[in-house]
Amino acid sequence: MPGKNPDLPIEDVRRLFEHWGDVTAEPRGVDYSEVDAGGVSALWAIPKGGASDRVLQATHGGGYVVGSPYSHRKLFGHIAKVVGVPVLIIDYRRAPEHLHPAPVEDAVRSYQWLLAEGFQPEKIGLIGDSAGGALAVTTLLLLRERGLPLPAASVPLSPWTDLLVTGPSVVSNHEKDHFVKRHVVDHLSSVYLGDDGTSVARRDPLASPLYADLAGLPPLYVQVGGDETLLDDAARLVDAARAAGVEVRYDVYPEQQHVFHFLAGSAPEANQAVQDIAQWLRPRLGLSWEEHRIAAE
């Protein structure tokens, strides 16, 4: 998530954030190509030798204000390579130019494009980080609302699920989290909702999935760092999903920061998290993890 600096033009903030992905090692064996996904700009990350009839749709983080498929290209490239399927990283519309619910509308539009391209819903997964992690859930909610077939699974990474910012870890992990602070999250909430800081707006399930009816959603795999201020955004989403009867796996990686996955290729904790995603996700897409692991070795 970006910091709050009202004196810095939004385009300058966005240019700075594009370098966030510089910390991610370049994954080898992954090709990238731009595509129009039903009116939504997107970037394919295609691993060599991967399955061609399965796919992940990825939504990048950045508080709905910054970030792009290019800031997250290498992160999702690592995930594409280890899972063994192409990843469609969508360039959804961002605030303040486009307010809520533009990002989730775009995520549904690109998902419908995947269906039109011939991908079966049971062979599609969703994944995203931070605000994009919330989108990996709110996309499911809007698909369900519109009566569209749901994907096989969803993987929210360090998800930002509560625009009201009520999680106790916002306070308890304040000194540990070097990236996400309460004033930053409050500011981004206001920008995303068009300066509407009312509790009603911030409780909209398509903005804050923590307050949604989660019944009937496909399996979720939630990962989060133990030192995050948004730790309780993840934990409470998991509790709500399990209470609604949703199958959930939940992993907290001790002493890790917000979206520590960006260190994929250079930090063992990030590499392990990506491996965990692949081991959990491949069977849900109808692929064998064991065969893939042996082939990769």
- pLDDT for 184-243, tens place per residue? 999 999 999 997 667 888 999 999 999 999 999 999 999 999 999 999 999 999 999 999
Three-class SS state of 81: helix
DSSP bridge partners of 125? 56, 153
Decide: 105 and 142 in contact? Cβ < 8 Å: yes
Q: What percent of the chain has pLDDT over 90?
A: 87
Consecutive H or E run containing 71: none
- Catalytic choice (71, 228, 261, 292): 228
- Catalytic choice (71, 130, 158, 169): 130
Model confidence at 2: pLDDT above 60: no
- The arithmetic mean of pLDDT across residues 31-46, rounded, is 98
In 3D space, the residue among 274, 224, 272 whose CA is nearest the CA of residue 248 turns out to be 224
Decide: 290 and 97 in contact? Cβ < 8 Å: no
pLDDT of residue 296: 56
269 flagged as catalytic: no
DSSP bridge partners of 85? none
Contacts of 28 (CB under 8 A, 6+ apart): 81
In 3D space, the residue among 172, 166, 242, 158 whose CA is nearest the CA of residue 203 turns out to be 166
Decide: 143 and 212 in contact? Cβ < 8 Å: no
Q: Residue 95 — φ and ψ, nearest 5°?
A: -80, 155
Contacts of 290 (CB under 8 A, 6+ apart): none
Question: Other CB atoms closer than 10 Å to residue 9's CB: what's the count?
Answer: 10
- pLDDT for 137-177, tens place per residue? 999 999 999 999 999 999 999 999 999 999 999 999 999 99
- 87-90 vs 124-129, strand pairing mode: unpaired
58 residue type, one letter: A
130 flagged as catalytic: yes
**How much is the pTM?**
0.94
Higher-confidence position of 293 and 245: 245
At what angle are helices 268-284 and 289-296 packed, to 10 degrees?
140
261 flagged as catalytic: no
- Catalytic choice (60, 72, 187, 258): 258
Count of H helices and E strands in the chain? 10, 8
pLDDT of residue 293: 63
Q: Which residue has the tokens 């409050």?
A: 186
Decide: 89 and 41 in contact? Cβ < 8 Å: no
Q: Give the pLDDT band of residue 5 (cuts 50, 70, 90).
A: very low
CATH fold of 10-296: Rossmann fold (3.40.50)
